[in-house]
Structure 1
């Protein structure tokens, strides 16, 4: 598990491209028969991916958590972006197929990821954050998520936001999670942009062709930077940073948030004229 620390925005102004990528980007989220995770000191989020191919994968706490098991003091969200698979929680199996989500409550001890077909392995994208209460585990399919169509063709941002882990869908402590799908011909997300003073966010970009990229915008509104993202890569956004993207083609991304509250619309919007 890679560990990254909090960053002061005045320091980030001086980062090179290489250092921005090293500190904010998770370049390899999925590796065959492996669980790849990043632990950030920004609101203590853990994010990454589990990709079982030839064997099932068990989630261990590791020395980073100093816990008996991974969700002893945490909750977790999972969305499958690969082939059909299963998540087994304390012996109970959940079929988690492509685009299915799963909220896993604090106190769940045994977490096992598996694929139905090694030739089309599941890819379980994971977000986890500290939790103060145990809420029930809930499976959320794409048809159970709240769908919010937004944008327009003329602004190149026609998209649908699917809210998987959201107060109107299920109870969680501080984790919010969902997926945004851009339509063909659209490339912009989260623009006009905003910051989240009371929580952080991680974006995971996927459904991208090999020769396409997303220019992920970050930084303070008056000190913007960008990180070039390829398929199945994740990027961290602290509370002081904008988080928006422009792609060379349409794409899909999963967003995950944790922090002070779970009010989805608690945002500090930035006027386009104030961006630098």
Structure 2
């Protein structure tokens, strides 16, 4: 498990590009036959990826978490971005096609991740947050996720937000998770920008061509920075930071939030003339 400590906004102003990437960009999440994880001290979220092949991969890292099993004090949300996947949660089997999701609640002792076809392996992305209550494990098919159509052609930001784990759909303790898919010809997400001081956020950009990039904007509104992000790379977004992006083509991204508030309405909008 890679450990990322929290960085305050004053220090971020002094970071070089390599230092900024080292703290906030997550590379190599999807390695064949492996489980890769990052533990961020922003709301203690764990961000991970797994590409199971012949053998199942168990969700586990007792040495880092210092617990008897991964979900002893946590919950987790999975989204599959690859070939057909199978997740077993305490012996219960769930099959996930591309963009299907699974919420697994606190107290689940054994979680196994598998691919149905090693020649077309699953790519399971997940985010895990601390949990205070036991809630049922629930599968969410893409077609059952709550869609929200936003943007316009004129603003180059036509997109659909699919909400999987949130108060109005599958309940969790503090984790919220969903997918945003931009239409062809659209490149902008989350602009005008906002912050939410009571929640951190994590992004995973995917469905990008090999030579395409997303310029992910972060930092305080008065002094922004950017990260150049490739396909299937993630970004840790602190509670004090904007989180917006523009791509060289359209793309999709998974967003996940955790923190004190469990609502989408606590956002603080940033006007365009406030951005620097």
TM range (shorter): over 0.9
How much has 1:62 moved relative to structure 2? 2.3
- Gap runs ≥5 in structure 2: none
Q: Which position in structure 2 is the counterpart of 1:84? A: 84
Once residues 61 and 49 of structure 1 are traced to their aligned partners in structure 2, the CA distance between those partners, rounded to angstroms, is 13
Equivalent in the alignment of 1:51? 51
How much has 1:186 moved relative to structure 2? 0.2
Q: 1:124-178 CA deviation, whole Å, 9 max, x = no partner? A: 1010010000100110011111000000000000000000001111211000000
Deviations 1:25-48 (A, max 9, x none): 101110011110000011000001
Indicate whether 1:26 and 2:60 are aligned: no
- Separation in structure 2 between the aligned mates of residue 74 and residue 156 of structure 1, nearest angstrom: 38
Q: Tell me how far apart the structure 1 counterparts of residues 235 and 241 of structure 2 sit (CA, whole Å).
A: 12
Following superposition of structure 1 onto structure 2, how do residues 225-264 of structure 1 map, counting pairs within 5 Å?
A: 225-264=225-264
Paired residue for 1:198? Answer: 198
Post-superposition shift, 1:59?
1.1
CA–CA separation in structure 1 for the residues paired with 2:210 and 2:60: 32
Aligned twin of 2:136:
136
The match for 1:101 is: 101
5+ long unaligned stretches in structure 1: none
In 2, the alpha carbon distance for the partners of 1:161 and 1:200 equals: 18
* Secondary structure of the structure 2 residue equivalent to 1:23: helix
Displacement of 1:61 in angstroms is 3.0
- CA RMSD in angstroms, aligned pairs only: 0.6
Superposed, which structure 2 residues align to 1:68-217 within 5 Å? Answer: 68-217=68-217
Cα drift, residue 240 of structure 1? 0.3
In the alignment, the residues of structure 1 paired with residue 190 and residue 53 of structure 2 have an alpha-carbon distance, to the nearest angstrom, of: 34
Shift of residue 247, structure 1, vs aligned partner: 0.2
